[in-house]
Copies of this chain bind each other. A is one copy, B any other.
């Protein structure tokens, strides 16, 4: 780690900033930016190979950071960055120890009867990250995202997912209608006007659970391809739950059924 960069006009740093800020740049190049040691660690745990790792010069002295850097594959270039430079690149209130450019993991075709989440046009990065975190915790590992979803490998979604991305198989830009039509298990959409309570459903076999956009919900096309519209009973006075809470409730009702 000889290089120390202190100028934000450095070409490597400019590339990093472009990837942080520009969704098209990230998607076209099939890359993502990992912020902080926790995410880098989670990526290394699943054998991803970062192309470039930028380390804050202060953090480079810390033993936990050094231990993590020692785990980097030889193909990863490591660059030290002067204090204050990260603040110009990320939107975080406190600058992370490391920023890493890393190729996105590629999802392979799952087993036909693997349970799965289908996410249609989810817009809020925090919601999407939370949904991924719940899916990872509940062990529903196949996640399909429509083209209209926010970039699932954006820095914000990665932060909010807290490493869940790397426990999942994430299928970006999926044709949800085709996926749902081809799925042989039980197909459920969450729907405010659903006539059937979630709690009457058998979720113990292979399921595809469809969740829709924060404002407009699941599209009619996907609703018509599903077996059942489920409603989460709300005895209280709230207008609705947000999509991340709804996903969490459904995913953990499945956990309950599988355990009881």
Which A residues fall within an 8 A CB radius of B? 126, 130, 133-141, 162-164, 167, 197, 199, 232-242, 244-245, 248-249, 252-253, 255-256, 258-260
With A167-B237, A253-B256: A245-B248 Cβ-Cβ less than 8 Å:
yes
Of B136, B164, B199, B238, which is within 8 A of A137 by CB? Answer: B238
Residues on the B chain within 8 Å of A130, using CB: 242, 245
Q: Is the CB of B252 within 8 A of A141?
A: no
Residues of B within 8 A of A240 (CB): 137
**A11 → chain B, closest Cβ, in Å?**
32
CB distance from A203 to the nearest CB of B (A): 12
Pick from B239, B248, B255, B258: contact of A162, CB under 8 Å: B239
- For the complex formed, measure the closest distance between the CB of A244 and the CB atoms of chain B, giving whole angstroms: 8
CA distance A126 to B242 in the complex (A): 12
When distances are taken between beta carbons in the complex, the residues of chain B under 8 Å from A255 are: 199, 233-235
A259 with B167: in contact, given A236-B138, A238-B136, A238-B137 (CB under 8 Å)?
no
Known contacts: A197-B259, A249-B252. The answer to whether A167 contacts B238 by CB under 8 A is yes
Q: Are A233 and B245 in contact (CB under 8 A)?
A: no
Residues of B with C-beta under 8 A to A236: 135-141, 167
Q: Beyond the given A133-B238, A135-B236, please list 19 additional residue pairs across the A-B interface where CB-CB is below 8 A.
A: A134-B238, A134-B241, A136-B236, A136-B238, A137-B235, A137-B240, A138-B234, A138-B235, A139-B235, A139-B236, A162-B238, A164-B238, A167-B237, A167-B238, A197-B259, A235-B255, A245-B245, A249-B252, A252-B253
- Name the distance in Å between A44's Cβ and chain B's nearest Cβ: 15
Contact A259 B233 (CB under 8 A): yes
Cβ-closest chain B residue relative to A164: B238
Closest Cβ–Cβ distance, residue A193 to chain B (whole Å): 16
Closest to A236 in B: B139
Residues in chain B near residue A233, CB distance under 8 A: 255, 259
The CA of A197 and the CA of B233, in the complex, are separated in Å by 23
Task: Name 20 A/B residue pairs within 8 A (Cβ), A-sorted.
Answer: A126-B126, A130-B242, A133-B242, A134-B238, A134-B245, A136-B236, A136-B237, A137-B235, A137-B237, A137-B240, A137-B241, A140-B236, A162-B238, A163-B239, A167-B237, A199-B259, A199-B260, A232-B252, A245-B245, A248-B249
Closest B residue, CB atoms, query A141: B236
